[in-house]
Structure 1
Amino acid sequence: MIRGAIRRKSGRRLWSNTVAATGWGESTFAEQAWDKSRGAAARWGVAGVLVGVLVGVVAFAPATWLASAVASATQQRLLLADARGTVWSGSAVPILTGGQDSHDASALPSRLEWTIGPNGLGFEVRARQACCLNGTVALQLRPGLGRVTVKLLPPAGWVGQWPSAWLGGLGTPFNTLQLGGAVRLASPAGITLESVQGRWRMEGRADVELVAASSRLSTLDTLGSYRLTLTGDPASAGAPQLTLSTLEGALQLSGTGNWGTGGVRFRGEAKASSGDETALSNLLNIIGRRDGARSVISIG
């Protein structure tokens, strides 16, 4: 009897301890699960805040960031001064300079306005400028590994026209020549430029025309009009080829060249039309190396 009672008490005690132990384990596991859930929620919350901040920074990135990028890419030769708005929608005053520490600078008379938006795997830039662009000019940019592609989608007719005096901001020799007239860019079918590890390839054609040019170094009212044509050459893996020709005028310009990995290489000549030698003599001395009646032009 006594032994049986002891056994029953022992059994009840063992059973009670098992229940207590099981309840304590379930409570511990629940607390651990709650702690893990709370930690995961905290991590997701922090991640959400960081993503929100990143999206906000990208969406409202100031236009000055774009201005800094352009200045760096052009070695300070093209500046977007007084930049306003954001990277995606802003405006600025384009200024040409001779580079870092240069004292030469020339600004255009109106602000350049732009918008940037996604386009497939890249971006599309739409630019407007009352003084100088023909309506809205669109550029498609597609970055890649070690390469970038830029495609110009021109409006009907010419793309842009700028006062030749703007080039004076680049320094020598333009600040000496003090050109008058206009620089016009035309590309009826558009052009595509691709940079692959520093080497440029081109598809299409672009004409840069100097219209009714004049210079303070000549007594003539106008020197003439000229065209520099850029075309992609399939035989040279698309390397842009340059051709300079005279449309009309007393100063005769001609030459050819290319735009390769080492930069621009160009060889040409300048000479005066019959009867204008005296009026153009000083200008010919500045343009290139004098060789008798002509002036030899050599770049690169």
Structure 2
Amino acid sequence: MDGLVARLATGTAHPRGFDFHLRFAANRHGQNQRYAKQRKRPMNKWSWMLLIAAYLCVLIVTAPASLLSRIIDHASNGRAELANTRGTLWRGSANPVLHQRGGGPITLATLHWNIATLALFSGKLNAQLQWDDEAQSAPMDIIVSPGQIELRRAYLPLSALLLDEASDFLKPAQLRGQIIFKSDSLIITEQGVQGTAAADWLNASSLLSSIAPLGNYHFTFSSSSAGVDIALNTTSGALQLAGQGHFSTATGLAFKGTAQAASGKEEALRELLGHLGPEERPGVNTFTLVPARGR
């Protein structure tokens, strides 16, 4: 009995049990440290991933408008770009520039755009376009989805220099003026175009005539199963134009029309009429437009 009391007093009672408790406590402490390290590692990894994602979001949101110009230049094979870009990729302004085949650039009015970022998550690009200093009643909507482009309230102020692109036959006439293209709704797919549109050629002129302006003209475009039907009529002016034609991606442009001078303007328009085509009947010349040759 005295020996047991002595061992308790010296702490030597049950040495094996005491040693077991020490080892158990040490093992548990080591396991807790390992668990803590394992829990820290994935948190660090996720933190880096979130930081990188946030940085990429900032880069995308603040991407300059000049990036859109590079995208358009690449998509059009160098036929179009944006000049004087301001703002960001998502909300900005610029002057669209169209490059003619073998000719100089055509710079259009300032265009403002606003791209809806949320629509991108549904696989669509939805943008509103507004021109500066133009009689545009409401912003134009453009909706791009896989295999389809939809235009709503389309409004495009263009230069008559683009008529040179329609046919090489028109290039020597060096036609001038402004063309306003409008459409309530157009859908463009790989199969063709759906919808109707109109264009007004205002203050038309030509270097082959001293009369300026020659007149104002109206085009209508109607989609069909085979392509787009085109009609031309004169609104007013010394040069009277009329014609009909057709355009398809397979065959290009085929258009036939007539041209004649208003009473008293025959002499001033003689050179231009002679260039447009042969005289079919007294005072009436015919002209035919065929697709312009590629580069």
Query: How much has 1:218 moved relative to structure 2?
Result: 3.0
Does structure 1 residue 191 correspond to structure 2 residue 190?
Answer: no
Quote the residue 1:182 is aligned against. 178
Does structure 1 residue 216 correspond to structure 2 residue 207?
Answer: yes
Equivalent runs, 1:99-114 vs 2, <5 Å: 102=102, 104-108=104-108, 110-114=109-113
Q: Deviations over 1:83-104 (max 9, x none)?
A: 11101111112222126xx551
Does structure 1 residue 164 correspond to structure 2 residue 155?
Answer: no
SS in 2 for 1:267: strand
Quote the residue 1:205 is aligned against. 196
Does structure 1 residue 298 correspond to structure 2 residue 290?
Answer: yes
SS in 2 for 1:299: coil
Q: Deviations over 1:2-52 (max 9, x none)?
A: xxxxxxxx9934433432332232122211111111111101110111111
CA distance in 2, matches of 1:169, 1:295: 16
CA distance in 1, matches of 2:240, 2:127: 38
Corresponding residue to 1:255 among 229, 233, 244: 244
CA distance in 2, matches of 1:227, 1:200: 27
Query: How much has 1:162 moved relative to structure 2?
Result: 4.0
Q: How high is the TM-score relative to the length of structure 2?
A: 0.75
CA distance in 2, matches of 1:131, 1:164: 18
Q: 1:48 to 1:213 in 2, by over 3 A?
A: same
Query: How much has 1:281 moved relative to structure 2?
Result: 3.8
SS in 1 for 2:233: strand
Q: Is the 8 A contact 2:202 2:216 kept in 1?
A: yes
SS in 2 for 1:193: strand
Query: How much has 1:113 moved relative to structure 2?
Result: 2.0
Query: How much has 1:220 moved relative to structure 2?
Result: 4.1
CA distance in 2, matches of 1:172, 1:98: 12
CA distance in 1, matches of 2:161, 2:141: 26
Corresponding residue to 2:41 among 30, 39, 42: 39
Opposite residue 228 of structure 1, the aligned amino acid is F
Opposite residue 255 of structure 2, the aligned amino acid is G
Q: Is the 8 A contact 2:142 2:151 kept in 1?
A: yes
**Identical aligned pairs, as a percentage?**
17
Does structure 1 residue 229 correspond to structure 2 residue 220?
Answer: yes
Q: 1:281 to 1:167 in 2, by over 3 A?
A: closer
Q: How many equivalent residue pairs?
A: 270
Does structure 1 residue 82 correspond to structure 2 residue 84?
Answer: yes
Over the aligned positions, Cα root-mean-square deviation in angstroms equals 3.5
Opposite residue 183 of structure 1, the aligned amino acid is I
Equivalent runs, 1:63-142 vs 2, <5 Å: 63-98=65-100, 102=102, 104-108=104-108, 110-118=109-117, 120=119, 121=122, 122-132=124-134, 134-142=136-144
Q: 1:245 to 1:167 in 2, by over 3 A?
A: closer
Quote the residue 2:260 is aligned against. 273
Q: 1:131 to 1:96 in 2, by over 3 A?
A: farther
Where structure 2 has 5 or more consecutive residues not aligned to the other structure, the ranges are 1-11
Quote the residue 1:243 is aligned against. 230
CA distance in 2, matches of 1:83, 1:167: 27
Q: How high is the TM-score relative to the length of structure 1?
A: 0.74
SS in 1 for 2:14: helix
Q: 1:269 to 1:169 in 2, by over 3 A?
A: closer
Q: Is the 8 A contact 1:98 1:171 kept in 2?
A: no
Q: Is the 8 A contact 1:220 1:279 kept in 2?
A: no
Query: How much has 1:206 moved relative to structure 2?
Result: 0.9
Query: Which of the pair has more CA radius of gyration?
Result: 2
Q: 1:149 to 1:169 in 2, by over 3 A?
A: closer
Does structure 1 residue 284 correspond to structure 2 residue 276?
Answer: yes
Opposite residue 255 of structure 1, the aligned amino acid is Q
Q: Is the 8 A contact 1:79 1:96 kept in 2?
A: yes
Opposite residue 298 of structure 1, the aligned amino acid is V
SS in 1 for 2:229: strand
Q: 1:176 to 1:268 in 2, by over 3 A?
A: same
Query: How much has 1:53 moved relative to structure 2?
Result: 0.8
Q: Is the 8 A contact 1:92 1:111 kept in 2?
A: yes
SS in 2 for 1:72: helix
Query: How much has 1:135 moved relative to structure 2?
Result: 4.5
CA distance in 1, matches of 2:163, 2:247: 21
CA distance in 2, matches of 1:142, 1:96: 21
